[in-house]
Amino acid sequence: MPTPLPFSSFLIFFLGASLIFTPPSSSSSFDTFLFAGCTLQKYTPNSPYPSNLNLLLSRLVTTSATIPYNNVTVLGSSPQDTIYGLYQCRADLAPNDCYQCVTRAVTRLGTMCTDAYGAALQLDGCLVKYDNKRFFGVEDKTVVVKKCGPSIGSDLDALTGLDPALAQLVTGGGTYRTGGAGDVRSVAQCVGDLSVGGCQDCISEAIRRLKSACGPSAWGDLFLGKCYARFTRGATHADGNEDGYGYDANGNGRY
């Protein structure tokens, strides 16, 4: 069986503007584009792969109307043409919002990752990923996006709320976790194909990196290959410093 590629093997595209984080209780921004990645390996358009891919994406979209996570395998005539895919919606989304999010993610992947064997796209409310290498259940702690808001300086009152808000994510359990302390709101989620231990390890690592990178910031986002952790002080966040690799949404080199 081919070794699954970590996110570092994908050509990453992400929004040139800032990421937007609304508190977990709000689903109004579920279709905000965060990042996408495409494998460099391309399939031949007249091969069986594109029809298998269309079948897989259709199944993902269909099931997203009723359940927040699913993985699908479409067997090909050869290992090269077999395709694995999944979607993961934010657990607070209504079923119709999950369906709309996955539908829009699939549509955008079709234009951003043309003829790519593997691709992934993260909107604010959902992740869609597929590849011809089986990746279900495989941990991936590659840092995909790290983004921090403006510094809040040494405001002790503001700083004290972050630790308990993030600690609630560590102890929360489940694949989707929320926390809060004072004016700090936090959220974390791992992809549903991970084991309980794998999910816990991924979220703990995301929180550790997030706190280290963005602790004294007004907000922060840390996306790993199979999970993310985010926090904000106040309702939303906008401008800040970002760190990633690959290209922006227009295909211009950034990192």
Residue-wise pLDDT for 93-127, tens only, equals: 999 999 999 999 999 999 999 999 999 999 999 99
Give the pLDDT of residue 9.
52
- Report how many domains make up the chain: 2
Task: Tell me the C-alpha distance between 122 and 210, whole Å.
Answer: 18
pLDDT score for 155: 62
Torsion of CA 31, 36, 41, 43, to 10 degrees: 10
The answer to whether residue 68 is domain-embedded is yes
Least confident of 80-94, 151-165, 170-184: 151-165
Residues 105 and 204 in one domain: no
For residues 195 and 87, membership in a common domain is answered with: no
Same domain assignment for residues 124 and 178: no
Mark whether 20 and 123 lie in a shared domain.
Answer: yes
The DSSP result for 106-142, as a single string, is HHHHHHHSTTBS-EEEEESSEEEEEESS--TT-----
Range of the domain at 223: 143-243
pLDDT value for 156:
62
Radius of gyration of the chain, Cα coordinates, nearest whole angstrom: 18
Instruction: Please name which of 240, 248, 189 lies closest in space to residue 19, comparing C-alpha atoms.
Output: 240
Give the domain CATH number at 163: 3.30.430.20
**Which of residues 131, 163, 187 is at a domain's end?**
131
pLDDT, residue 252, reads 29
- Structural domain includes residue 12: yes
Do 22 and 115 reside in the same domain of the chain?
A: yes
The residue ranking higher by pLDDT, 45 or 250, is 45
Q: Does one domain contain both 98 and 179?
A: no
- How does strand 219-224 pair with strand 247-248? unpaired
Q: Is the same domain home to 44 and 76?
A: yes
Q: Which of 159, 161, 183, 163 is nearest to 171 (CA)?
A: 163
Cα separation, 65 vs 56, in Å, equals 15
Q: Write out the two tokens for 195.
A: 């084991």
Domain contains 249: no
122 and 27 in a single domain? The answer is yes
> What is the pTM for the complete model shown?
0.82
Same structural domain for residues 105 and 175?
no
Sign of CA dihedral 57, 58, 64, 67: negative
Residue 193 lies in a domain: yes
Looking at the fold, whether 125 and 186 belong to one and the same domain comes out as no
Whether 119 and 154 share a structural domain: no
Burial 121-143 (b: 16+ CB within 10 A, else e): bbbbbbbbbbbbbbbeebbbbbb
Per-residue pLDDT, 159: 65
Q: Are residues 109 and 182 in the same domain?
A: no
Residue 118 lies in a domain: yes
Tokens of 173: 């359990």
Q: Is residue 52 part of a domain?
A: yes
1-28 confidence digits (pLDDT tens): 455 555 445 454 544 333 334 444 444 5
